[in-house]
Amino acid sequence: MSQDTTNASNNLGWDPIDPHGINPHDEAHKGHFVADWKMQISILVILLVFTVLTVGFYNLEQWAETAFEITLPKWINIAGAMSIATVKAILVAAFFMQLKYDKVLNTFVMLFCLFCVALFLGFTMIDLGSRHLVDPERAPPIVAGGTGVGLNAAPVDKKFSLILSPKVNTGGSNIVYYARLHGNEEKPGLLYYREKGDEASFWKKFYGAHASGRDELDERNFYEQLGFTTGTSISDSNASHPRYGLTPGLFSDVDPKTAESQDDGH
């Protein structure tokens, strides 16, 4: 015989069959807050207003720099944008995440997590902001690699320099052309041959190993005078010559061999 639970439900004030029924004796559910739609719409409108303020603050900075011909410090942009973002984050956490109506412990846990993130980012920012603070006697020179720009400096006395190789004064020219002009102890440079009046010998050796085109330092065009422009135009095992333009017959139904023979007049 089944037992009637209707009276028991009425006496308890809740329906045990309903999983969403609230037991008045359960204090954990008795004070649960349910946000209404009016509050959520209001918070949404406030967030949208703060978003418009973020864009307006940026445009105001741009206008001020243009109108008054000034450059505002970067911290002004960071302080303004982060202040607005902080207010928006507090609204979201307090109302949408309902921390305002929840236990204080949940708010403490969230603030502790944010503190840990700020701690990690803070140590990283300290490292990035202090990398240039090196003792001058320990800091090597900062040079732009591959261009020879950093070598454009007066020679340094070796006994006062921490670098084993002395600096070279390129006079602002490219390091490759500087080496070609001045040479080294084993091979003299172009200036040496110009002083002897035998510049042709230098270019004969140079183009003999690098006959790919006229060099910029070849002011008298020894490239043509020595006959390096009359070389073969067919690629072989010693040199390859690029072909420019479209391959004949590449985008047509004509046989490439037939197209080449027509171009040659055969």
Provide CB contacts within 8 A for 87, sequence distance 6+: 50
Report the C-alpha gap between 178 and 167 in whole angstroms. 13
- Whole-number pLDDT of residue 9: 47
Query: At 215, is the secondary structure helix, strand, or coil?
Result: coil
- pLDDT at residue 88, as a whole number: 95
Closest CA to 76 of 60, 88, 52: 60
The whole-number pLDDT of residue 110 equals 92
List, as one string, the DSSP characters of 205-232.
HHHHH-TTS--TT-TT-HHHHTTGGGS-
Delimit the domains of the chain by residue range.
179-231
Task: Please give the pLDDT value at position 165.
Answer: 46
pLDDT at 228: 77
User: pTM of this prediction?
Assistant: 0.40
Per-residue model confidence (pLDDT) at position 107? 92
Q: Give the Cα separation of 121 and 265 in Å (integer).
A: 73
Cross-strand pairs, 188 = 183
Is residue 48 within 8 Å of residue 17, measured between CB atoms? no
Residue 108: C-alpha distances to residues 87, 102, 103, 112, 118 (Å): 18, 11, 9, 6, 15
pLDDT at 161: 46
Residues of the chain with pLDDT under 50: 1-2, 5, 7-9, 28, 149-150, 152, 155, 160-165, 266
Q: How many CB atoms lie within 10 A of CB 85?
A: 13
Distance of CA 50 to the CA centre of its chain: 29
